[in-house]
Amino acid sequence: MKVYYLSSSAFADNQINLLHHFPKDVSVTYNVIIPVKNSNYSEAEIRDYCQQQDIHFIPTRLKYRFRDPRLLSTYYGILANIRRVNPDVIFVANFDQIYLNAILLTLDKSKTIIAMHDVVNHSNTAFDKLTTLGKKLLINKFDSFLTYSKPQATILREKYGKKKIYTIPLPLIGFGDMPVVQKPADKKTFLFFGFILPYKGLDLLLRAISKLAETRQDFQLIVAGRSSDWEEQYAPLIKHPELVSANIGFIENHDIPAYFAKADYLVLPYRDTTQSGPLMIAYNYNIPVLASNAEGFHEFFENGTTGYMFNLAKQGDLERVLDEALDRPDEEYKKLKQKLAAHTHQHFAITQLVEAYVDMFKKTTS
């Protein structure tokens, strides 16, 4: 079976933890769109992975921003390449680019699966109208879809009627082994990791940290990720800079394990979410999570097993879970990590995910 897997380097973190597990009778052509800047993975990193795993790699390099019409010829080149390969299944990881999606409408819908991370945009999404239109082009044309969570499948079904919808969670995401680091004996470390966007609620966390610092200093917060408005929106919220280490900018993949090695808890104060890459990284490295009760977390989070949840609508509840995390005895924390490890093994075993993908591919070809 030949599968043409079209994606962007923005999603490579979960894909390179998945594709090499496909059985040998599934031959993958992996076409990765490399943006002109802010690529999560370099072309060289993806090429090395594909060479090691015997995956046919096609880089599509962009010279301009995604929405630049001068890229139309590049996008047509993707279409021509798909036709040359003549795959049994075309798998498209949608990322809402209107020109690309318009060209993809010419694909054979009987053998095309569209993967939707977000059926509806997050709050305060940039270019909301354009990205929504990009989604609708594909949803109106195609019949088969993959979502990564059950709530997203429900939204897709309720908003767009009869579709063939598969749901497979993201795999655990790793970036190599965690290094051994020396943790401060008198402090616990909270980590906020990833691209900083309004819906992720970093402002809520910084305010909670400032409140917590009024009564105790036995912690530190590490913030690591890109932000386009750090100095304007977030830096002014830091009232105790001695407790906050901010590493703002692109985080190299080989540096990611060190951030999680330093963390006692990953904190996800998201206002809304569908699925979370940082959550899958934390699970991979067995780091407990403090998460909001945003709907998208409920499917992949078990309070008291994978970490602890707080109520977004309840004033002071984020400070509560932070405070309780600091007071949690070492023995109780060790038991929490044991429960987390058992949970991830049960629910995110790579063999289960691969079986679901192969079953989806076979149903598309039958």
Q: What is the mean pLDDT of the chain?
A: 93
Residue with tokens 């798998």, as numbered in its chain: 91
Scan for tokens 């699925």, then name that residue.
Answer: 275
Closest CA to 201 of 246, 237, 241: 237
Cβ atoms of residues 281 and 173 within 8 Å: yes
Distance between start and end Cα atoms, the chain? 11
pLDDT at 127 over 80: no
Report pLDDT digits (tens) over 285-324: 999 999 999 988 888 899 999 999 999 999 999 999 999 9
As given in the structure block, the two tokens for residue 60 are 């599509």
162-201 confidence digits (pLDDT tens):
899 999 999 999 999 999 998 888 899 999 999 999 999 9
**pLDDT computed for residue 263 by the predictor:** 98
Give the residue range(s) of CATH 3.40.50.2000 domains in the chain: 2-170+349-365, 188-347
pLDDT of 129 strictly over 90: no
d(CA 191, CA 220): 9
When comparing pLDDT for 39 and 180, which is higher?
Answer: 180
User: Above 90 in pLDDT, residue 126?
Assistant: no
In angstroms, rounded to a whole number, what is the distance separating the alpha carbons of residues 87 and 84? 9
Model pLDDT for residues 231-276, shown as the tens digit of each residue: 999 999 999 999 999 999 989 999 999 999 999 999 999 998 877 8
Residue with tokens 């921003």: 65
Residue 333 is encoded by which pair of tokens? 């924390």
Q: How many CA atoms lie within 13 A of 248 on its CB side?
A: 13
- φ, ψ of residue 6 to 5 degrees: the values are -100, 125
What's residue 296's pLDDT? 82
- Within 13 A of 63's CA, how many CA atoms are on the CB side? 7
What dotted CATH number matches 2-170+349-365? 3.40.50.2000
The closest alpha carbon to 122, from 28, 38, 199, 209, belongs to: 199
Specify the CATH superfamily of domain 188-347.
Glycogen Phosphorylase B; (3.40.50.2000)
Q: State the pLDDT confidence band at 366, using cuts at 50, 70 and 90.
A: confident
Q: What's the gap between Cα 180 and its chain centre?
A: 25
Long-range CB contacts (< 8 A, 24+ apart) of 291-296?
A: 291/267, 292/201, 292/268, 292/318, 294/270, 295/151, 296/149, 296/151, 296/152, 296/270, 296/272
DSSP 8-state class, residue 143: S
Whether residue 331 has pLDDT greater than 90: yes
Residue 125 has pLDDT above 80, yes or no: no
The per-residue pLDDT for 312 is 92
pLDDT at 97 over 90: no
Which residue, among 95, 129, 110, 136, has the nearest Cα to 12 in the 3D structure?
95
Q: Could you tell me the two tokens for 360?
A: 């989806």
Angle at 183 between CA 177 and CA 186, to 5 degrees: 160
Per-residue pLDDT at 109? 94
Exposure string (b/e) for 170-194, b if CB count within 10 Å is 16 or more? Answer: bbbbbbeebeeeeeeeeebbbbbbb
Structure-block tokens of residue 311: 């109520």
Distance CA 9, CA 7 (A): 7
* Distance between CA atoms of residues 220 and 2, nearest Å: 49
SS3 of 180, please? coil
Q: What sign does the CA torsion over 193, 334, 292, 13 have?
A: positive
Contacts for 74 with CB less than 8 Å, ≥ 6 apart: 60, 62, 63
Q: Which of 187, 198, 183, 146 is nearest to 167 (CA)?
A: 146
**DSSP conformation class of 168:** -
Chain centroid to Cα 268, Å, comes to: 12
